[in-house]
Chain A
């Protein structure tokens, strides 16, 4: 069966508001950004999320208010942003319904889901805040249809009486989205390099969207089945999206776009222009206070003057730093699809990201 869709049609058909979702990839590696961008453009929302090792993918969704409940273990564009900034701001403002598991537990939960297990016993999280504190209370959980009623339960190991272990639920995913190196029209996938949790969620989810660097024929992909990681019958849609993980990296194909990841790091400090003005005013007040405390320090006075100018310029709209909203406008909303995005990034910039085969990454960007 031919499962090839355009990006627009795949997302319109298989991504529904209210879905329980997991994305593949690892922080800044093989993240399915092309689909994330298309979801942002189309407007689906209210997702219950099982975020594996997440980064800018879910940070953008959180910043755009598309997340209803966020079950996570780690959210950062490691090496660029230590803690994803919209994720962090949403939690600090009390605006995000979220739950923490350890990465080990969450990845095992996704694996257990792929095995079809009823629940999962682990010897992890014991003694820690991860067991003691629940981000989503029992009462809230009952009201959230796609969130399990309990975070975890300490039980006795029936095969080793006296031993305490921790039972955790297995996710029931509506939707998985993964980006792979090669796929064929029948849905068969080749994943090169570390598969991360991508195979697990492709088996576990009811609907699976695959984007691929290269769309190859069903005959070609069977030339060496040892390379094939996902059975085509698990897959709902195949979308040909070269550079579909941009600005994250893709093994054997391309490296992180460090310029874009640094741009996102800076821009995502501020939700929008009003937030930038408010934060800069706060920073200016703090700098002034420091300068007032030590009037003899010229450097502090200079810093305070500089901070005041930045705050005044932002308030007057003369010079507002790039914000999260600006970044999304530039790289998501102002382009109609992934092709237009690649045109905007530019040919030579994309070529510079290409992995150098002898190294496995790029040194040219």
Chain B
């Protein structure tokens, strides 16, 4: 058997899977989080329950879905709720003080407190007439209100900024007590940022981002070079790569069509 050479995306997918815990209800979108959650469900943590914001609960798609409302999610799930039931479920989990939800969100910009922008980049303009417009919130704002989140980002200086243009999904706001001050649940918030360089976490006291894990070959210098604010890498450990069997499952069972994990040609 030929040896699989790991890609950046596979590292991220594996990091996602390893951070899903027993019995957690996992809010996934499409793309890498779905690959990670599929890996968790199959191998790393089979007791988890993937759900999507359109209201489809405990999904186990055979073929990788393209959107959260895809027939591929609807087939073989436990319940097909309308979206408002999902929203109510999310809010009630918090009202019941249940800590079972973990959610994945992405974005274009992030600040040191894990506030995320997925709405627009101003450039020389503003919110009303921005340089670059994205989709906007989708389900992300609600998810970031009520759930602990894992944020997925490409690690680039222009994305990791001290100040972002627009907060679509609230992180720890401006630090300790920041969420409570604006009326958000204080006991929920971003847990980590999974990037192509490693895993960033938030300091318990200051709520500022630090580097907790680096992928093999990544150095503190590389992390700092690609971060637009000062980032502490002094506690960073190496996050080991998965074994060949995990890569085989990703490539041959979960995403054989390379919908989200692109394998470079030899």
Contact A79 B67 (CB under 8 A): yes
Q: Which residue of the partner chain, among A87, A100, A123, A194, contacts B119 with CB atoms under 8 Å?
A: A100
Q: Which residues of A contact B83 (CB under 8 A)?
A: 26, 53, 103, 107, 196-197
Contact A128 B141 (CB under 8 A): yes
Contact A78 B30 (CB under 8 A): yes
Contact B66 A256 (CB under 8 A): yes
The yes or no answer to A88 lying at the interface (CB within 8 A) is yes
Contact A75 B135 (CB under 8 A): yes
Contact A102 B137 (CB under 8 A): yes
Closest residue of chain B to A92 (Cβ to Cβ) is: B133
The yes or no answer to A270 lying at the interface (CB within 8 A) is no
The yes or no answer to A346 lying at the interface (CB within 8 A) is no
Closest residue of chain A to B70 (Cβ to Cβ) is: A29
Complex Cα distance, B127 from A130, in Å, reads 10
Contact A26 B183 (CB under 8 A): no
Complex Cα distance, B70 from A355, in Å, reads 12
Contact B82 A194 (CB under 8 A): yes
The yes or no answer to B140 lying at the interface (CB within 8 A) is yes
Q: Which residues of B contact A197 (CB under 8 A)?
A: 82-84
Q: Which residues of B contact A73 (CB under 8 A)?
A: 136-138
Which one, A202-210, A281-289, A357-365, is touching chain B? A357-365
Contact A127 B30 (CB under 8 A): no
Contact A124 B62 (CB under 8 A): no
Contact B141 A26 (CB under 8 A): no
The smallest C-beta distance from A110 to any residue of chain B, in angstroms, reads 8
Which one, B39-47, B48-56, B195-203, B223-231, is touching chain A? B48-56
Q: Which residues of B contact A133 (CB under 8 A)?
A: 127-128, 166
The yes or no answer to A9 lying at the interface (CB within 8 A) is no
Contact A123 B91 (CB under 8 A): yes
Complex Cα distance, B170 from A102, in Å, reads 12
The smallest C-beta distance from B62 to any residue of chain A, in angstroms, reads 7
Closest residue of chain B to A111 (Cβ to Cβ) is: B84
Q: Which residues of A contact B76 (CB under 8 A)?
A: 360
The tally of residues in B whose CB lies under 8 Å from a CB in A reads 59
The yes or no answer to B173 lying at the interface (CB within 8 A) is yes
Closest residue of chain B to A133 (Cβ to Cβ) is: B127
Contact B53 A194 (CB under 8 A): no
The yes or no answer to A74 lying at the interface (CB within 8 A) is yes
Q: Which residues of A contact B80 (CB under 8 A)?
A: 193-195
The yes or no answer to A216 lying at the interface (CB within 8 A) is no
Contact pattern, A 331-365, Cβ under 8 Å of B = 1, otherwise 0:
00000000000000000000000010001110100
Contact A165 B183 (CB under 8 A): yes
Determine which residue in B63, B120, B128, B137 has the highest number of CB atoms from chain A within 10 A of its CB, and name it. Answer: B137
Contact B74 A194 (CB under 8 A): yes
The yes or no answer to B155 lying at the interface (CB within 8 A) is no
The yes or no answer to B69 lying at the interface (CB within 8 A) is yes
The yes or no answer to B248 lying at the interface (CB within 8 A) is no
Q: Which residues of B contact A82 (CB under 8 A)?
A: 134-135
Contact A126 B182 (CB under 8 A): yes
Q: A87-B133, A124-B142, A130-B168 are in contact. List 12 more A-B contacts (CB 8 A).
A: A26-B67, A29-B70, A74-B135, A74-B137, A77-B67, A94-B129, A104-B142, A127-B173, A129-B127, A251-B74, A360-B71, A360-B74
Q: List 15 A-B contacts (CB under 8 A).
A: A25-B69, A27-B69, A53-B138, A73-B137, A77-B67, A78-B66, A79-B67, A103-B141, A108-B87, A133-B166, A135-B128, A249-B71, A255-B71, A359-B62, A360-B75
Would you list the 5 A-B pairs with minimal beta carbon distance, nearest first? A79-B66, A360-B75, A78-B67, A104-B142, A127-B182
